[in-house]
Amino acid sequence: MKASARDRLIIALDVGTRAEAISLALTLAPFAGWMKIGLQLFTAEGPDLVRAIRETGANVFLDLKLYDIPNTVARTVESVAGLDAQMLSLHLSGGGEMVRAAVAAAPEDLLLLGVTVLTSANSETLREVGMLEDVLRQVVRLAEIGADCGIGGIVASAREIAALRKAVGESLKLVTPGIRLRGSEEHDQKRIMTPAEAIAAGADYLVTGRPITAAPDPIIAARKIVEEIETCVFRTDRD
């Protein structure tokens, strides 16, 4: 049985305060089973916010994108395990030793997600920092490192899903940021897809933030995205 649209949708709580985050989590609970806490909010409000969001009934994706020496990353994973988050991200570009240390430190109920190439980046961004591979090849290269090290899931644009499935198979969860309804503002995202396109491509979870949280009516925006996911899930279930 496939997950419902609500269980697939992750709302990025890219706001500055605990009050805003909790208000959004409660408001959007009927549409999304997951809330993402990123660096801005975690830095502003601290670890207790994870527990506060869990009290709203939502699962938590703690999107810290860890990137440090292996020992520091491992100890951080152990600390996160005590916060009752369900997902935690780290940069696969930290290398195999770092990723293996994180995997070894993670409890079974914490899904470690390996970040490949940020959806705000493109091939020009990679060349700027000395990477000669194009985005797709770099995403696959990093995902293969994660898979070899026992990571539980991959964070990448929906545009790379087909190549990722071919490279790492069906066992890893694919989490896709940069989700936008057709015609929506792209903001600083460069590699985007619509909810229907991402689900059809094989994404397990969709992450979206400002298209919902900055909308004039977040409820209407969330409902539109969920309806599009539901339509696609129903169609793929019938297939």
Domain layout of the chain by residue ranges: 5-238
Burial (CB < 10 A; 0-12, 13-18, 19+), residue 170, is exposed
182 has pLDDT over 80: no
Burial (CB < 10 A; 0-12, 13-18, 19+), residue 86, is middle
Q: Smallest Cα–Cα separation from 233: which of 201, 191, 193, 209?
A: 201
- Mean pLDDT score across all residues of the chain: 89
Tens digits of residue pLDDT in 114-163: 999 887 887 788 888 888 778 899 999 999 999 999 999 999 888 899 99
183 has pLDDT over 60: no
CB 68 within 8 A of CB 95: no
- Given the residues 36, 65, 173, 224, the one annotated as active site: 65
Q: Which CATH superfamily is domain 5-238 in?
A: Aldolase class I (3.20.20.70)
**Tokens standing for residue 49:** 């916010």
pTM of the model: 0.89
User: Is 2 assigned a catalytic role?
Assistant: no
Range 72-96 average pLDDT: 96
